[in-house]
Amino acid sequence: MKLCFASRNPHKHREIAHILGDAFQLLTLDEIGCREELPETASTIAGNAICKARYVWQRYGMACFAEDSGLEVDALNGAPGVHSAHYAGIPPDTKANIERLLKELQGISNRKAQFRTVIALILPHGELHTFTGTVSGWITPVPRGEQGFGYDPIFQPEGHHLTFAQMSLQEKNQVSHRRRALDAFLNFLHNHPCIRR
Ligand code: ITT
């Protein structure tokens, strides 16, 4: 039984592979012959995770999981949220996304925010399961750090002095939204012998 991880984001692949280790036999989109863009047409993070997983299951007949993530800022009513990747426009531009977010928060003292990940898993017969992970923190006044990706340089998780971009992969993976969603996902998979290696 093989499981495809339906994502084109190499940073997500790296973080997920680090957490999963060799517990499961994961296939990439390239390995199943999927070269096209996956649809992300829903209006919520969970909806987009389901969209991507369902697309791969329907077209390629593979058990698979996808994840969608976003940064939700309290003072911006949850923006950029589902629009995190394209906050400053298309094509996605990480530096411009960060600049826009810092500009929107200029003069605002409430810097509370959370990262959210939703994983959508589709089993061989089409059964859908979702798993959510969140981590709360603050948006820093200026970017700090070079590691990670996306909004990591301006997100400082609660209880830490460092931004995600100042942490090693191991440190980020101990507390991240992705880690928390993966813990719930793993717990489920361990109880489903058909998926185990
Ligand atoms: P997929 O192929 O998996 O869809 P993607 O990069 O398009 O990859 P998303 O649609 O989930 O991924 O976009 C979420 C955006 O949110 C992503 O481009 C980053 O800007 C940001 N993001 C997600 N997880 C993050 C993390 O752990 N740290 C920093 N930023 C993150």
9 vs 55: CA distance, rounded Å: 17
Of 7, 66, 70, which is closest to residue 44 (Cα–Cα)? Answer: 70
Is the pLDDT score of 115 beyond 80? yes
| The predicted structure's pLDDT at residue 192 | 77
- The CA-to-CA distance between both ends of the chain, in Å, stands at 7
In the beta sheet, which residues pair with residue 155?
139
Is the pLDDT score of 110 beyond 90? yes
* Entry pTM: 0.95
| Structure-token match 């997500």, residue found | 12
| In the chain, % of residues over pLDDT 90 | 87
User: Tens of pLDDT along 6-27?
Assistant: 999 999 999 998 888 877 778 9
Q: Which two tokens stand for residue 156?
A: 């400082």
114 vs 104: CA distance, rounded Å: 16
Of 68, 74, 93, 183, catalytic: 68
User: Tens of pLDDT along 61-72?
Assistant: 989 999 999 999
* Weakest-pLDDT range from 17-26, 56-65, 128-137, 162-171: 17-26
- In the chain the domains, ranked by start, together with CATH numbers, are 2-195 (3.90.950.10)
| The predicted structure's pLDDT at residue 194 | 63
Are 122 and 54 contacting, i.e. CB atoms less than 8 angstroms apart?
yes
Q: Which helix (H) or strand (E) holds 71?
A: strand 64-73
Active site residue 68: yes
Distances in whole angstroms, Cα of residue 46 to Cα of each of 81, 118, 131, 196: 11, 5, 9, 25
79 vs 93: CA distance, rounded Å: 16
41 vs 101: CA distance, rounded Å: 23
The residue that leads in pLDDT, 152 or 1, is 152
Q: Tell me how long the chain is.
A: 197
Identify which of 56, 84, 116, 171 to mutate to test ligand 1's pocket (most ligand atoms within 8 A of the CB): 84
